[in-house]
Structure 1
Amino acid sequence: LQDVVFATQRAFYSIGAAKAAVQAAEENVELAKTDDDAVSRRVDLGLATEPELLLSRQTVAQSQYDLASAHLLVREAQANMAVALGVAANTPLDVPNLASIPIPAGLGSEVDQLIETAVRSRPDLAAQVATLDARRAAVDQAKAQFYPTVGVAGTYGLQAWQYKYDGTRTVDANQPQYTAVLTINWDIFTGFKRLNDVRQAEANRDAAGAQLESLEVDAISSVWRAYYEFQTALSRYQYAKALLAASEESYDANLDTYRQGLSTIVELLTADRDLANARYTIVQSRADLLTSSAAVAYAVGAIEMPRRP
Structure 2
Amino acid sequence: MPPPGQKPTAKSLMYAFKPLIASLALLAVPVFAAGTPCGDVAPAAPMSLATSLDYALCHQPQTRSAWAQLRAQQAGVDIAQAAYSPDLSASASLSRSQSDDGSGSTSAGANLNLSYLLFDFGQRDAQLAQARALLDASRAGVDDTLASVWIDTVRAYFNVGKAGKQIDAYKAAEEAAKASLDAANKRAAVGTATPLDVLQAKATLAQATLNRTKAQNDLANSKGALAKAMGISPMQLPVLADMPTSLPDLPLAESQLDKLLDAAVRERPEVRSALANLAAADASLKSAQLATRPKLSLSAGLGVNRSWPDSDARSSGTIGLSLSIPFDLSGATKARTVQAEAQRDASAAQLESARQGAENDAWQAFYSLRSALDTLAAAKVVQENAAKAYDAALTRYKAGLDTLLDVLSAQNTLASAEQQQVAARYDWYAARASLAWALGGPLPNQLSQWAPPAAR
User: Could you say which TM-score interval applies, normalised by the shorter chain?
Assistant: 0.7 to 0.9
Contact kept, 8 Å, 2:368 with 2:431, in 1: the verdict is yes
- The equivalent of 2:240 in structure 1 is 95
Q: 2:296 aligns with which of 150, 157, 162?
A: 150
2:170 aligned partner, one-letter code: A
- In the superposition, relative to structure 1, how do residues 107 and 79 fare at CA in structure 2: closer, same or farther (>3 Å)? farther
Contact kept, 8 Å, 1:24 with 1:279, in 2: the verdict is yes
- The equivalent of 1:36 in structure 2 is 181
Secondary structure in structure 2 of the residue aligned to 1:59: helix
**Which one is further off, 217-226 or 265-274?**
217-226
- The equivalent of 2:33 in structure 1 is none
Q: Deviations over 1:226-258 (max 9, x none)?
A: 221222122111111111011112112212222
Secondary structure in structure 1 of the residue aligned to 2:323: strand
- The equivalent of 1:206 in structure 2 is 345
Q: Which has the larger radius of gyration?
A: 1
Secondary structure in structure 2 of the residue aligned to 1:90: helix
Q: 2:250 aligns with which of 79, 96, 106?
A: 106
- The equivalent of 2:171 in structure 1 is 26
Q: How many residues align?
A: 288
Moved over 4 A (4+): 152-156, 178-182
- The equivalent of 1:68 in structure 2 is 213
Secondary structure in structure 1 of the residue aligned to 2:297: strand
| Cα RMSD after superposing both structures | 2.7
Contact kept, 8 Å, 1:78 with 1:93, in 2: the verdict is no
Contact kept, 8 Å, 1:19 with 1:97, in 2: the verdict is no
Contact kept, 8 Å, 1:35 with 1:56, in 2: the verdict is yes
1:234 aligned partner, one-letter code: L
- The equivalent of 1:171 in structure 2 is none
Secondary structure in structure 2 of the residue aligned to 1:125: helix
Q: 1:273 aligns with which of 396, 412, 419?
A: 412
Shift of 1:270: 0.2
- In the superposition, relative to structure 1, how do residues 59 and 185 fare at CA in structure 2: closer, same or farther (>3 Å)? same
**Which one is further off, 272-281 or 290-299?**
290-299
Matched, 1:118 2:264: yes
Q: Which protein has greater RCO, CA pairs closer than 8 Å, 6+ apart?
A: 1
- In the superposition, relative to structure 1, how do residues 132 and 34 fare at CA in structure 2: closer, same or farther (>3 Å)? same
2:286 aligned partner, one-letter code: D
Q: Deviations over 1:81-119 (max 9, x none)?
A: 111111111114120345x45445336684322322222
- The equivalent of 1:81 in structure 2 is 226
- The equivalent of 1:237 in structure 2 is 376
Instruction: Calculate the TM-score normalised by the size of structure 1.
Output: 0.83
Gaps of 5+ in 1: 157-177
Secondary structure in structure 2 of the residue aligned to 1:145: helix
1:236 aligned partner, one-letter code: T
Secondary structure in structure 1 of the residue aligned to 2:165: helix
Contact kept, 8 Å, 1:39 with 1:52, in 2: the verdict is yes
Between the aligned partners of 1:53 and 1:97, the Cα distance in structure 2 is 38
Secondary structure in structure 2 of the residue aligned to 1:151: strand
Higher helix share: 1
Contact kept, 8 Å, 1:36 with 1:53, in 2: the verdict is yes
- The equivalent of 1:185 in structure 2 is 324
Between the aligned partners of 1:65 and 1:9, the Cα distance in structure 2 is 29
Gaps of 5+ in 2: 1-145, 303-316
Between the aligned partners of 1:189 and 1:285, the Cα distance in structure 2 is 67
Shift of 1:24: 1.0
Shift of 1:291: 1.5
Within a 5 Å distance, the mapping from 1:1-16 to structure 2 comes to 1-16=146-161
Q: 1:260 aligns with which of 385, 396, 399?
A: 399
Between the aligned partners of 1:129 and 1:52, the Cα distance in structure 2 is 69
Secondary structure in structure 1 of the residue aligned to 2:192: coil
- The equivalent of 1:58 in structure 2 is 203
Contact kept, 8 Å, 1:17 with 1:97, in 2: the verdict is no
1:151 aligned partner, one-letter code: S
Between the aligned partners of 1:188 and 1:12, the Cα distance in structure 2 is 62
- In the superposition, relative to structure 1, how do residues 189 and 256 fare at CA in structure 2: closer, same or farther (>3 Å)? closer
Between the aligned partners of 1:26 and 1:146, the Cα distance in structure 2 is 77
Between the aligned partners of 1:3 and 1:216, the Cα distance in structure 2 is 17
Q: Deviations over 1:175-202 (max 9, x none)?
A: xxx9974443323553444333322222
2:260 aligned partner, one-letter code: L
Shift of 1:208: 0.9
- The equivalent of 1:134 in structure 2 is 280
- In the superposition, relative to structure 1, how do residues 189 and 283 fare at CA in structure 2: closer, same or farther (>3 Å)? closer
Between the aligned partners of 2:224 and 2:282, the Cα distance in structure 1 is 47
